[in-house]
């Protein structure tokens, strides 16, 4: 099969995008997805995303980690998929789509995508960290000297040791100033540090607000791949109207035999 694909990135978090509205992609072929995501023998990406038809929204998002398995929500991937949908002419400037965690809406303006994330009602405070689900499970932990921190070693240790086989994404955070933080993330499924993680950035923003380290409802986050912004409303029920805002860009288009 000659497969047409598009490569997108959102703050360095990169994805293989495939228009699967005709249902031609073999979604059960875990090995194929993993090989396409391989950076040495394939296209190379943190994940693969299918854009499919959906009865009630503009499109459906089907997300695979680079290990080839379908996974939970990916925030940067969702933003890139909105940009891809606009490129294909599926949407203009506004989008609604279904993902594994439910309905999302978005607005795109000159490569900047404002994506509505899932509401967050439960935040579990641990002695030195927080755990919450922003469409994917996330551990959030404050550290010092983040630039020199061994994210791969410490992230893998927590991902398996603290959260078992199912695991969690692990975020290490350092405060830069009021309402601005630097974040590095170990992603499960990728099993390594990624340049950026959208659901992780969202989790960090909410966790830092919960920890009273943020004034106001907007948090600026610096990742190794670029800057993102998270805004939200908060009340006694938790966090709602959560937005993940940042760039999403086409890198290249190609074809590959598979």
The set of catalytic residues is 74, 197
| CA separation for the pair 51, 76 (Å, rounded) | 15
């Amino acid at each position: 099969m000659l497969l047409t694909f598009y490569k997108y990135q959102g703050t360095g978090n990169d994805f293989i995008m495939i228009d699967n509205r005709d249902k031609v992609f073999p979604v059960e072929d875990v090995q194929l997805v993993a090989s396409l995501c391989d950076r040495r023998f394939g296209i190379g990406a943190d994940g693969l995303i299918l854009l499919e038809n959906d009865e009630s929204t503009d499109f459906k998002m089907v997300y695979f980690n680079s290990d080839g398995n379908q996974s939970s929500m990916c925030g940067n991937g969702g933003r890139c998929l909105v940009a891809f949908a606009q490129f294909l002419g599926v949407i203009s400037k506004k989008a609604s789509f279904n993902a594994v965690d439910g309905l999302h809406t978005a607005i795109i303006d000159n490569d900047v995508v404002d994506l509505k994330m899932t509401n967050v009602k439960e935040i579990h405070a641990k002695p030195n960290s927080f755990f919450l689900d922003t469409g994917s499970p996330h551990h959030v932990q404050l550290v010092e000297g983040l630039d020199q921190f061994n994210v791969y070693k410490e992230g893998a240790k927590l991902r398996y040791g603290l959260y078992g086989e199912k695991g969690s994404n692990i975020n290490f955070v350092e405060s830069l100033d009021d309402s601005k933080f630097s974040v590095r993330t170990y992603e499960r499924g990728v099993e390594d540090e990624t340049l950026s993680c959208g659901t992780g950035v969202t989790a960090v923003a909410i966790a830092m607000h919960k920890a009273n380290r943020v004034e106001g409802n907007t948090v600026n986050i610096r990742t190794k791949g670029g800057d993102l912004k998270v805004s939200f409303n908060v009340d006694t029920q938790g966090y709602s109207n959560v937005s993940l805002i940042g760039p999403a860009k086409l890198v290249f288009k190609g074809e590959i035999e598979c």
